[in-house]
Amino acid sequence: MKEILNKENEEYAYKCFEKTLELGFKFKLNNDVKEKQSKKQQINQLLKIPLDGIELNDLLKYFSEEILPYCTNFSNENFMGFPDAGNSVAGISGAIMSDFLQQNLINSSFCAPIATYMEIAVIKWFREILGYKIKKINNIWDVGGVITYGGTGSNSIALLLARENFKKDTMINGVKNPENYKVIIPKGIGHYSIRSALMWIGCGDNIIEVETANYRYDISALRETLLKNKGKIMCVVSYVGDSRTMTIENLKAVYQVVKSVDNNIWLHVDACHGFSLAFSEKLKKKIEGIELFDSISTDPHKVLAIPYCMSALLIKDPEKFKLVTSTSDLIMQEDFAFGQITPFIGSKSWVSLKTWFMMQNLGIKNIGKLIERRCDMAQYLKKQILKSDHFILMNEVNINSVVFVYVDNKNELSKMNINDINALNSQIYDYLLKEGKYYLHRFPIIDNMGAIKEDETIVVLRYMSGNDNISYKDINNMLTHIIEVATKIKGENK
Ligand SMILES: Cc1ncc(COP(=O)(O)O)c(C=O)c1O
């Protein structure tokens, strides 16, 4: 049967794979972020069940003509909204390889023998560069990390650990009074996954948002909240690169204030983005103190140019995974079965292989250089924004994110209406999205720095990139394009 890979159809399958690669290249190297805008009506067409099947070559042709033009190319140099470029050659190679090899990281001795050791190695590398202690690894409980499919999964496991650490055996007994399992986050910048995870693990919507200043905890407000809720807080979450502004928390101050109030509170840092700074000798001091936290979420698929999906949750004390161990005779009770310490996930593909490939290929030093360049690009954009009369900078620019708004003339800000600024920036975003040439992100944010008006909600545009193809010229062209688009919209609005 030629549809199932075997020795007889090797040549046919090889040609199909070549064609697949060709399409992948064509897509990734395309000049547009997106060729065509998809329409809602397409859903109906796509819902039809394939009854008779289509030969793979014909399917690839159909896919190339009818689907690919509607896909968004995160690797295009004009895609400046999110960091996840997914364009490391070694990373893609590792991704293809892992799909080919079909290793199951739930068990080691039978399903994924060498793969398990390589996954352990990736976790150990991350622990080491972030400053966690490294134990001699005799079994899975010495590893101190698990691989998940994303930052959301890693944050969820961190909260589960925090819950068990706070009240042992909640796994067995259930959550009795959810209001006594509170989690503190910084107001206005947190990623939704923390609130959702708290609800997913049965602790209800018991998030406390603490006031922020410059997109970091207001430390005295944090102290006050901790004292007021003493005994009812299981976890405090900080960000090393929050989803909106990429600001780095004042980690040591958070650590000290939390520990001074209650030593039993689990300190989690979501460093999905900011852990990338640890690769650079020059930048790693910006995240000093991260090693004090009980757990760290990292998201290589955001910052290491590898394809989706791969995240790693690291914990300071590897033994704590015993709090959430799964025991079943379907997961082997062997020294190195990741299935025992990875909540929520059963069969797991070898997603860490793409990171292994990327890291082996570049080495820490060259990854560090890439990260430095990304931060330099963001600083360059910041400078252009500060120089221009048309743009207002909304964040400090700690990592690779530049948050800004377009205005007619920033010297006449006092005469402008915030609703008009918000409407214009929303229109700019919609225009760009429809046009498909550039992509920037848009979201509302509370003006924490008083850039326009303190505490007002401002609709901002955001440049953020992990795409190492972006050049200074691309950044200049993007700003020029926004000015042109804004002028056009203003003309049409008249
Ligand atoms: C700070 C932060 N944490 C967690 C996540 C969730 O990561 P993922 O989308 O990989 O689940 C994101 C996603 O953007 C994020 O920005």
Q: What is the mean pLDDT of each run of 10 residues along the chain (494 residues)?
A: 92 97 96 88 91 96 96 95 96 98 94 96 98 95 98 98 96 96 95 98 98 96 98 98 95 98 97 98 98 98 98 98 87 88 96 98 98 97 97 96 96 92 97 91 94 95 93 97 96 85
Hey, which CATH number is domain 369-493, 3.90.1150.10, 3.40.50.620, 3.40.50.360, 1.10.260.40? 3.90.1150.10
* pLDDT at residue 326 in the model: 84
Taking the C-alpha atoms of residue 307 and residue 227, their distance in angstroms, rounded to an integer, is 43
Minimum CA distance residue for ligand 1 atom 14: 243
Mutational test site, ligand 1, from 157, 189, 243, max ligand atoms within 8 Å of CB: 243
- What's the 273 CA to ligand 1 centre distance in angstroms? 8
Residue 159's pLDDT is: 98
Each domain of the chain, given as residue ranges in start order, spans 7-71, 94-360, 369-493
Cis ω before 272 (30° cut-off from 0)? no
Tokens of residue 455, six digits: 């505490």
Q: What does the pLDDT read at residue 217?
A: 98
CB-ligand 1 contact for 151 (6 Å cutoff)? yes
- pLDDT at site 47: 93
CA 91 / ligand 1 centre spacing (Å): 20
Q: How far apart are CA 85 and CA 304, in angstroms?
A: 8
**Which of ligand 1's atoms lies nearest the C-alpha of 309?**
10
- The answer as to CATH 3.40.640.10 being correct for domain 94-360 is yes
pLDDT, residue 332, reads 76
C-alpha 446 to ligand 1 mean position (Å): 20
User: pTM (2 decimals)?
Assistant: 0.96
- Gap from CA of 151 to ligand 1 centroid (Å): 5
Residue 460, strand partner residues? 443
In this structure, what token pair is assigned to residue 407? 């205005």
> pLDDT tens for residues 412-441?
988 889 999 999 999 999 999 988 889 999
**Which of these, 307, 155, 123, lies nearest to 243 by C-alpha position?**
155
Instruction: Give residue 50 CA to ligand 1 midpoint distance, Å.
Output: 35
Check residue 465 and give its pLDDT.
86
CA distances from 233 to 153, 201, 257, 420 (A): 21, 15, 14, 41
Residue 314 has which token pair? 């690291």
Q: Edge-to-edge strands of the sheet including 266-270?
A: 145-148, 311-315, 295-298, 266-270, 233-239, 182-186, 207-210
